[in-house]
A and B are shown apart, each in its own frame.
Chain A
Amino acid sequence: GQSLEQPSEVTAVEGAIVQINCTYQTSGFYGLSWYQQHDGGAPTFLSYNALDGLEETGRFSSFLSRSDSYGYLLLQELQMKDSASYFCAALKEQGGKLIFGQGTELSVKP
């Protein structure tokens, strides 16, 4: 089968750092993407890891370990506007489809 596991909820305070983990089990795994979705909005692409290691994009970083079938999204200097749902998504094979996790709802408190 194919599945991605991520925590359903995470709470953090403004200015803090938070890590959202994602473990995956999928055949033909090619890479891991992360998306952000605000309440009532469309998912928007954040980052992608095809290789092991850390990818940094401003306050957001994403990490992948293929040997552990594990990745995470790291959000630094949290802001209230970061309150949203975050989805990890496995890309199945080059030219394949995206399989999404259930999403992690991040609440940033003042």
Chain B
Amino acid sequence: KAGVTQTPRYLIKTRGQQVTLSCSPISGHRSVSWYQQTPGQGLQFLFEYFSETQRNKGNFPGRFSGRQFSNSRSEMNVSTLELGDSALYLCASSLGQGGGYEQYFGPGTRLTVT
């Protein structure tokens, strides 16, 4: 079974721009969670989608949004990028709603904002 894939792997954007990241979960997994990873803050939960609905949300501003499609693929969007948004963005998939204790992570998208 193919693992979780994320595209693109690397991205450089300028302050004020917006960006869309994509995540394809493991086949059969219906839950996709997104995390932001930075050296100072560790892994922080952004949101989780299950059956095309956002089920859980972390403490991030409204500039961070996401969606999930009927095939469980998910996208996250960040608008009006700030320097502090530079991070590794990880998505993780799992079978059940809520993500659960065992999540399968993709390789991440490294976003650099200049």
Contact = CB atoms under 8 A, between A and B. Distances in A.
Interface of A: 30-31, 33, 41-45, 48, 50, 87, 89, 91, 93-103
Contacts, number: 62
A100 B44 contact: yes
A42 B101 contact: no
Nearest to B105: A42
Contact-residue bracket for chain B = 20 to 34
A98 B42 contact: no
Given A42-B90, A42-B105, A44-B105, A94 B42 contact: no
Nearest to B102: A45
Interface string B51-92: 000011010000000000000000000000000000000101
B42 A43 contact: no
A87 B106 contact: no
Contacts of B45: 97-100
B105 A97 contact: no
A99 B56 CA distance: 12
Contacts of B100: 91, 95
Contacts of B33: 97-98
B42 A102 contact: yes
Contacts of A43: 43, 90, 92, 105
